[in-house]
Amino acid sequence: MTNLFEHLSIASFELEKKNFEWLKKASQTSKKNNLKYNKNLIGHMKEEYEIKDWPKSFELFLMKCTQHDAFKSFLNNFSILSDNKPIYLNNMWVNYQKKHEFNPIHNHNGLFSFIIFIKIPYDLKKEDKYFNLPDKQNNTSRLVFLNSEPDGSILDTNVDVDKSFEGKMFMFLSKQTHMVYPFYTSDGYRITVSGNMRIKV
């Protein structure tokens, strides 16, 4: 994973079991209580719910992740403020993505954002066989980070998200453009939690 993001301000982490178990329950509670969040998001999904409360231990974990080497250059050059200000978790939501649904190209508000993988319902090998495309052209079910090159071309970094990603997280700068392609071979939900972190001023 490190090589995949070598030139990007993106880092991967694994959640502690207690935080992952709490997040799974919080996702279920938000869905049960129908805390609809669609109007605040760009996702082409019918089920997106706000997660309103979180334990301090989870927010501290996120704050620690912002100190990863991948973000040092960004933080060192962040000299807008005259004093150091704390980073905090501003908002968080859960996506229940069904077959054929997707997240179009977008970025987030804030300083840092993250994606946590709760449940991946499909087998990636079956997904890859759905259209029988060459490997370099097969984006089915992928998470993709997009960046422009000096020559104007687009660098698309595809992430082969499969069941092994459950309990793992990507953190990145909020302005990092990304998207999620649809999947086709499962009737289950692809469940992810996302959120944004800001500076408290």
Task: Please state, for a pLDDT cut of 90, what percent of the chain lies above it.
Answer: 78
Return the SS3 of 118: strand
The whole model's pTM is what? 0.93
> What is the structure's pLDDT at 116?
98
119 close to 190: Cβ distance less than 8 angstroms: yes
* Average pLDDT score over residue span 166-188: 97
Q: pLDDT > 70: what percent of the chain?
A: 94
pLDDT tier for residue 34 given thresholds of 50, 70 and 90: very high
Segment 176-196 mean pLDDT: 98
3-state helix, strand, coil in the chain (%, to 5): 25, 35, 40
pLDDT class of 149 with cuts at 50, 70, 90: confident
- The pLDDT of residue 80: 59
The yes-or-no verdict on residue 186 having pLDDT over 60 is: yes
Q: How many other CB atoms are there within 10 angstroms of residue 63's CB atom?
A: 15
Please compute the mean of the pLDDT values over residues 142-151 and round it to a whole number. 91
Are 141 and 158 within 8 A, CB to CB? no
pLDDT at residue 146 in the model: 95
pLDDT digits (tens, 9 = 90+) for 73-110: 887 776 555 566 688 999 999 999 999 999 999 999 99
> Among 42-56, 151-165, 176-190, where is mean pLDDT lowest?
151-165
Per-residue pLDDT, 3: 63
151 compared with 36, residue with greater pLDDT: 36
Mean pLDDT of 60-68: 95
Residue 76, pLDDT score: 76
User: What's the mean pLDDT in 40-63?
Assistant: 96
Kindly calculate the radius of gyration of the chain based on its CA atoms and give it in whole angstroms.
17
What integer best gives the mean pLDDT of the chain?
A: 92
Residue 57 dihedral angles phi and psi, to the nearest 5°? -60, -35
Token pair listed for 180: 């999620």
pLDDT at 153 over 70: yes
